Chains A and B, each alone.
Chain A
């Protein structure tokens, strides 16, 4: 079996969601073929559709369809009543940002969108939407045992004086990031991506990041993808952390700048901020 084919198998495993921890470390050692990853993801999606539809599909419960229709209409119309570009700019990977310093005209769109969706969701589904990023922040900081640490700006042009902190709850594996001073990004060009370093993961996997410092065992591990996000304001922004795997012992966080959709393995060429837990 050639090395290329072995790498392809790892990417296929990633798409299928079945990589073991050892394989995750292994995939970090190979050069990642993003085009192949996307093609495999594409093929899996097309096959999923084919298998579902070839069985004849199934009728969604009418009540659910009615609720989705009303909810979807509220969503769509909210994007047209305010600033649609801002709403469409909701980060690519299910995450949202919030800001307290949007210009009033932009906030109007967001408020309209948020209010319409919250009302529709509450009425139709009888439950609240997930907590907003700011609500998650408030909940976390009031939780005993959470860990907090400040971001360290690296001097990168996308946030030379960026400030903020990470709040991480090791019990629930949840957290939020707070930033101010990070550059606004266009998610069509690039996104921010969070990486979480877990002290229990094997070190010395990515030898290219061995700087000889006491942090080398951490820096040379394959970090866990914490999700991609976008920043819509250079003011205060709260971003929920969306860890793709369980974190056993978070020790450091780093934000990189990546192509739209994020990457499987970062080259760490653009790291505007990082944070280390004591």
Chain B
């Protein structure tokens, strides 16, 4: 059976210098050492995303295991002409974390409590354990630069949504913005981010 393949951007998007630097193709071909390199290179990224979007450390550990299992399963589908390895892994992590958040939100004990999110709107720089910024892979750096060109409200809402994993209802409570405004900032911010990133890619 055949169906047309999806649209793809064809420019190489490897965050490393050469294809040989990529870990996922080696993992998919059965290279056991690649698994350890994967944990070493991307464990911090996945752990950061999971920890920020999980209510407890135990749930974060569970989420990380879930995410890595998905990464191993998906390694054979990684295409460096579509996304960098870092972005590919972050995309998988986001999807798994959104799935987990949906499951949590079905439980009544996880109803929104604005008080518990107070800390999340504090500047991240004030959080204990903050470390110096790491060198960003090229594509992530490009996204970071594009992010700074968004409006202040778009940045605030997208940060809470994508980095902290808050639902838009939760963001509305935390920021005291109307829900519709939150949705508009988030969606238009993401659309604008994509436009800036594409313009940037075209320019280079």
- Using a CB–CB cutoff of 8 Å, the interface residues on chain A facing chain B are 5, 8-9, 12-13, 15-18, 34-35, 38-61, 64-65, 67-69, 71-73, 75-77, 79-81, 84, 88-90, 92, 94, 125, 157-158, 183, 185, 187, 189-190, 246, 257-261, 270
Contact A76 B7 (CB under 8 A): no
Contact A88 B28 (CB under 8 A): yes
Bound state CA distance, A5 and B1, in angstroms? 34
Bound state CA distance, A69 and B64, in angstroms? 12
Contact A50 B190 (CB under 8 A): no
Apart from A40-B194, A54-B144, A55-B131: 7 A-B pairs, beta carbons within 8 A: A42-B82, A50-B143, A73-B36, A79-B30, A80-B31, A189-B5, A190-B2
Identify which of B1, B48, B167, B187 contacts A58 (C-beta below 8 A): B48
Contact A48 B93 (CB under 8 A): yes
B49 contacts which chain A residues (CB < 8 A)? 48, 52
Identify which of A46, A55, A71 contacts B130 (C-beta below 8 A): A55
* Given A50-B147, A51-B144, A57-B48, A42 contacting B87 (CB threshold 8 A): yes
Contact A43 B32 (CB under 8 A): no
Bound state CA distance, A262 and B159, in angstroms? 28
Kindly provide the distance from the CB of A67 to the nearest chain B CB, expressed in whole angstroms: 8
Kindly provide the distance from the CB of A84 to the nearest chain B CB, expressed in whole angstroms: 6
Bound state CA distance, A185 and B1, in angstroms? 7
Which residues between 1 and 17 of chain B lie within 8 Å of chain A, taking CB atoms? 1-7, 9
Interface size in chain B (residues, C-beta < 8 A): 92
Contact A34 B6 (CB under 8 A): yes
Contact A69 B39 (CB under 8 A): yes
Contact A42 B83 (CB under 8 A): yes
A190 contacts which chain B residues (CB < 8 A)? 1-3
Tell me the nearest residue of chain B to A262, going by C-beta: B6
A79 contacts which chain B residues (CB < 8 A)? 28-30
Kindly provide the distance from the CB of A6 to the nearest chain B CB, expressed in whole angstroms: 10
Kindly provide the distance from the CB of A246 to the nearest chain B CB, expressed in whole angstroms: 7
B153 contacts which chain A residues (CB < 8 A)? none
Using an 8 Å CB-CB cutoff, how does the interface string of B30-65 with A read, 1 for contact, 0 for none? Answer: 111111101110011111110110000100010011
Q: Is B120 an interface residue (CB 8 A)?
A: no
Contact A57 B44 (CB under 8 A): yes
* Given A45-B94, A48-B162, A77-B32, A189 contacting B194 (CB threshold 8 A): no
Kindly provide the distance from the CB of B157 to the nearest chain A CB, expressed in whole angstroms: 10
Kindly provide the distance from the CB of A233 to the nearest chain B CB, expressed in whole angstroms: 15
Contact B3 A259 (CB under 8 A): yes
* Given A76-B31, A261-B6, A53 contacting B131 (CB threshold 8 A): no
A80 contacts which chain B residues (CB < 8 A)? 29-31
Bound state CA distance, A88 and B61, in angstroms? 25
Contact B1 A158 (CB under 8 A): yes
Q: Is B73 an interface residue (CB 8 A)?
A: yes
Kindly provide the distance from the CB of B44 to the nearest chain A CB, expressed in whole angstroms: 4
Identify which of A51, A67, A75, A158 contacts B162 (C-beta below 8 A): A51
Contact A84 B1 (CB under 8 A): no
Q: Is B136 an interface residue (CB 8 A)?
A: yes
Contact B132 A56 (CB under 8 A): yes
Tell me the nearest residue of chain B to A68, going by C-beta: B39
Kindly provide the distance from the CB of A112 to the nearest chain B CB, expressed in whole angstroms: 11
Contact B186 A12 (CB under 8 A): yes
Bound state CA distance, A65 and B142, in angstroms? 29
Contact B190 A64 (CB under 8 A): no
